[in-house]
Amino acid sequence: MKGQGVAVFIGSEIYRGSRYGAVHPLSIERVPAVIDLCRALDWLPREVWRTSPRAKPAALRDWHGAEYVAALEAAERAGEVSAEVRERHGLGTHSNPVFPEMFRRPATAVGGGLLAAELVARDGGVVFNPGGGTHHALPDRASGFCFLNEPVLTIRHLLRLGLRRVAYVDIDAHHGDGVELGFAGSEQVRVISVHEARRWPFTGALEEAAGGASFNLPVPAGFNDSEFALVLEEMILPAVAAFRPDAIFLQCGADAVSEDPLARLTLSNLSHRRAVRALRGLAPRLIVSGGGGYNPWTVARLWSLVWAELSGQEVPEHLPQAAQAVLRRQVWARRGQPGEVLLTTLADAPREGPIRDEIRRDVAVLRQRI
């Protein structure tokens, strides 16, 4: 049966040294730290690595407007935008600033997603594209640190390649509003999102169904591993299984863990590994992307743990010195240095707790729709 091949990791050097700005939440290294950490652990042999291509403007126009794509290219070339472009397209704002790679970097993330789609459509199996998962970008506007919507473009490519149904599962702390918009009313794509309630972009309410395509579960602050396990087993997995997808796209944002500064959820990275493990058996094809995550150490550890799960690596209890060195050289000017646990281990300790009645109630509401 297809889907039992070697896991593939898609990366690029475009992310190395690329910053949204000195005080922006994306002033940190993320994808390069994951690459370096996995290499230090000997988890990235040549046969599993693919260098991400850069998506061409024509591919981006599959969902994004031609005027917007041209404006994004022009902003990178000029290093500035007019007030009109800022107002119309959301470029040059605090959230989506002008920076040297502002077209090439997101276009490379999309190129990685398109390559992932082609690999799994042809061969089945699993692909990890940690630079992807930019789920807030809108057809004609940058939003929420996202200039291009890689999940929408990747899933559209999967459908174009002949797949009939794709399940999109989003466990980022923030609701993937752009993806929900992209597939509103679709009978081919099921969008499932678990995200913090009353958190930007303030969409994804329980009753929002996007014409029947979406299952939204906003969760309260303090959402813990025990509650995530319930949500996974009672809502996410049944909703995916009932849809019988040909492929699953997991947006594995790293901002729902306790140490992240842009959310108030309290998951460990074990919840993300659990989601990967559980979803892998529900379709012959799995694409996993990155997403949010604004603490350099927790992002590097979480996405490296995800890659370990996808590629069948044994996770050491204590990291070897070469791997520790990767974590120790990360810089977070906004918050300083972490404790030793984040520098010497990969897997978090479990962060379990009581399961609140409101979560049980809302899961039961969504189960009625499955």
Predicted confidence at residue 114, as pLDDT, reads 99
At 248, list the tokens.
């699953």
136 is catalytic: yes
Helical packing angle, 321-328 and 31-40, nearest 10°: 160
Tell me the CA distances in angstroms from 150 to 49, 341, 367, one per residue in order: 20, 33, 29
pLDDT digits (tens, 9 = 90+) for 319-347: 999 999 999 999 997 777 899 999 999 99
Choosing from 136, 157, 175, 195, the catalytic residue is 136
Q: Is 1 exposed, middle or buried (0-12, 13-18, 19+ CB in 10 A)?
A: exposed
Predicted confidence at residue 5, as pLDDT, reads 67
Which residue carries 């000195």 as its tokens? Answer: 22
At 12, list the tokens.
């690029």
Q: Helix (H, G, I), strand (E, B), or coil: what is residue 147?
A: coil
pLDDT digits (tens, 9 = 90+) for 140-195: 999 999 999 999 999 999 999 999 999 999 999 999 999 999 999 999 999 999 99
Q: Where are the beta strands (DSSP E) in the chain?
A: 8-11, 49-51, 125-129, 166-170, 189-196, 214-219, 247-251, 285-289
Strand order in the sheet with 125-129: 49-51, 8-11, 125-129, 285-289, 247-251, 166-170, 189-196, 214-219
- The CA dihedral of 91, 193, 365, 197, to the nearest 10 degrees, is -50
Q: Helix (H, G, I), strand (E, B), or coil: what is residue 80?
A: coil
pTM (predicted TM-score): 0.97
Helix (H) or strand (E) holding 33: helix 31-40
For the chain, domain boundaries? 8-367
pLDDT digits (tens, 9 = 90+) for 232-255: 999 999 999 999 999 999 999 999
Contact 194, 232 (CB under 8 A): no
pLDDT band at 1 (very low <50, low <70, confident <90, very high): very low
Query: How much of the chain exceeds pLDDT 70, in percent?
Result: 99
Q: How far apart are CA 39 and CA 286, in angstroms?
A: 22
* CA atoms within 13 A of residue 331's CA, in its CB half-sphere: 6
Sign of the CA dihedral with 137 first, then 142, 145, and 146 last: positive
The mean of the pLDDT values for the chain is 97
At 84, list the tokens.
């009109």
pLDDT digits (tens, 9 = 90+) for 68-81: 999 999 999 999 99
pLDDT digits (tens, 9 = 90+) for 258-275: 999 999 999 999 999 999
- Given a cut of 50, whether residue 3 has pLDDT beyond it is no
Q: How far apart are CA 207 and CA 299, in angstroms?
A: 31
Q: Helix (H, G, I), strand (E, B), or coil: what is residue 9?
A: strand
Contact 167, 145 (CB under 8 A): no
Topology of the domain covering 8-367: Arginase; Chain A (3.40.800)
Contact 60, 148 (CB under 8 A): yes
Q: How far apart are CA 49 and CA 151, in angstroms?
A: 21
- Given a cut of 50, whether residue 348 has pLDDT beyond it is yes
* Mean pLDDT across 32-57: 98
Predicted confidence at residue 336, as pLDDT, reads 74
* Mean pLDDT across 30-42: 98
- Given a cut of 70, whether residue 4 has pLDDT beyond it is no
Which residue carries 């005080």 as its tokens? Answer: 23
Predicted confidence at residue 22, as pLDDT, reads 92
Q: Where are the alpha helices (DSSP H) in 42-201?
A: 57-60, 66-78, 83-89, 104-123, 150-160, 177-182
Query: How much of the chain exceeds pLDDT 90, in percent?
Result: 97
pLDDT digits (tens, 9 = 90+) for 57-68: 999 999 999 999
Q: Helix (H, G, I), strand (E, B), or coil: what is residue 223?
A: coil
